[in-house]
Amino acid sequence: MGEHALADAEARLADMLEDLERLVRCESPSSDHEAVARSADLVAAIGLARLGAEADRIVVDGVTHLRWRIGSEHDDAPRVLLLAHHDTVWPIGSLATHPWSIEEGVVRGPGCFDMLTGLIMAVHALSAVALPPGTAATLLVTGDEEVGSTTSRALIEQEAQGCVAALVLEASGDGGAWKVGRKGVSNYRVELTGRAAHAGLEPERGLNATVEMGAQIVAIAGLGDPALGTTVTPTVAQGGTTSNTVAAHASFTVDVRAETAAEQQRVDEAFHALTSVTGAGIAIVGGVNRPPLERRSSEVVLRRAVAAAERIGIPVPDTISVGGASDGNFTASLGIPTLDGLGAVGGGAHADHEHALVAEIAPRTALLVELVRDLLERPGD
């Protein structure tokens, strides 16, 4: 059965590359809702052609998401969730400097690695898989993953409820590694309120929010714990109005990454326990954006994926834990067995050298077909 999946995927490769080219050429930066809507139109058309089914089009706060539910319509049917996104980080016009190309087996173009190749793999895998009777699969393609999935999180969590597993078609780690751990992400903005005064005539009458900001940045940067993999990184800072005025306001943003929910909670509590050094007012905005995808969430699906690769006769990928988050963080936090990094092999996500390897597309699509079939044939294992 595995050999058939590989042969079928290889036969589909030309169609997959054709679909991928169309998608890469349809630029879809997350912040441009009209561009994301155009991309959704194209993804829906590709899905209709390959799956023979219309997508559910779901627009939340102007952001367009797509969903296909294939197979049994019973609510209690064993179901696998495939997750992908069609938004990218590349602004409109990027094709002029980073054109679509395939040269010497390497695909290049904006978003080809993160994660349009994985999206096309998911569509074709779902088209190829023979779902066991009484089972189902859902493909959810969101439009705001690159900016935190703020409008799609509830949809992701809704679709994940009760699923046998969630398979995330994000790009792989180096060399094709599956992603079995992802740090959780928290985002904060620290707002400081002081009192303005003339910096030359009477600075002592002011309360300097910029001085308070400096003290708080030092304190917050110290919340990281390298031994536990927790990073706390102040990023963008702003303060004051003019060069001769004591700053009445200042603010800065902080990026927090943690491998465990306990570490996320520790850092969050520390943020809300901050006290002023100068007497300036402190307000904390933000908090946890994505919980961690801890390795234990991947173990069950990982064993099944290893067995599927062996049946197909392809090398078993390595595994890796990474600092970046994905929508798999949400499904894992719900207790749904989740395996990430099942998409493209290549590199250069968000960078000038972004690329995907053609030779890996068919084998990894076949693996996805075999894994979905196996998970639904033996959902209790």
Confidence band of 381 (pLDDT split at 50, 70, 90)? confident
pLDDT in tens, 215-247: 999 999 999 999 999 999 999 999 999 999 999
In the chain, ranges of CATH 3.30.70.360 domains = 189-290
Q: Where in the chain is the domain with CATH 3.40.630.10?
A: 2-183+292-377
Q: What average pLDDT does the structure give for the chain?
A: 97
In contact, 248 and 158? CB cutoff 8 Å = no
Mean pLDDT of 105-113: 98
- Which among 34, 33, 32, 54 has a CA at the least distance from the CA of 43? 54
Structure tokens at 157: 């969590």
Q: CA distances (Å), 57 to each of 255, 308, 309, 339, in order?
A: 32, 32, 33, 26
Report, as an integer, the average pLDDT of 169-174.
97
Name the β-bridge partners of 184.
258
pLDDT reading at 1 higher than 70: no
| % of residues, the chain, pLDDT over 70 | 99
- Mean pLDDT confidence for 166-182: 97
DSSP per-residue string spanning 340-360? B--S--EE-TTSTT-EEEGGG
CA distance 234 to 73: 48
**pLDDT, tens digit, for every residue of 22-74?**
999 999 999 999 999 999 999 999 999 999 999 999 999 999 999 999 999 99
Q: Residue 196 phi/psi, 5° resolution? A: -75, 150
- Residue 307 tokens read as 């067995």
CATH number for the region 189-290 comes to 3.30.70.360
SS3 163: coil
For 2-183+292-377, give the CATH class: alpha beta
Buried b / exposed e across 187-209, counting CB within 10 Å, b at 16+? bbebbbbbbbbebeeeeeebbbb
Residue 368 — very low, low, confident or very high, per pLDDT cuts 50/70/90? very high
CB 259 within 8 A of CB 293: no
pLDDT for 3 beyond 90: no
The pLDDT assigned to 254 comes to: 98
pLDDT tens-digit readout, 189-222: 999 999 999 999 999 999 999 999 999 999 999 9
The band of 2, judged by pLDDT with boundaries at 50, 70 and 90, is low
Mean pLDDT over residues 282-306, rounded? 96
Express each pLDDT in 336-352 by its tens digit.
999 999 999 999 999 99
Confidence of residue 380 (pLDDT cuts 50, 70, 90): confident
| DSSP β-ladder status, 346-347 and 338-339 | unpaired
Segment 253-270 mean pLDDT:
97
- Contact in structure between 342 and 169 (CB atoms under 8 Å): yes
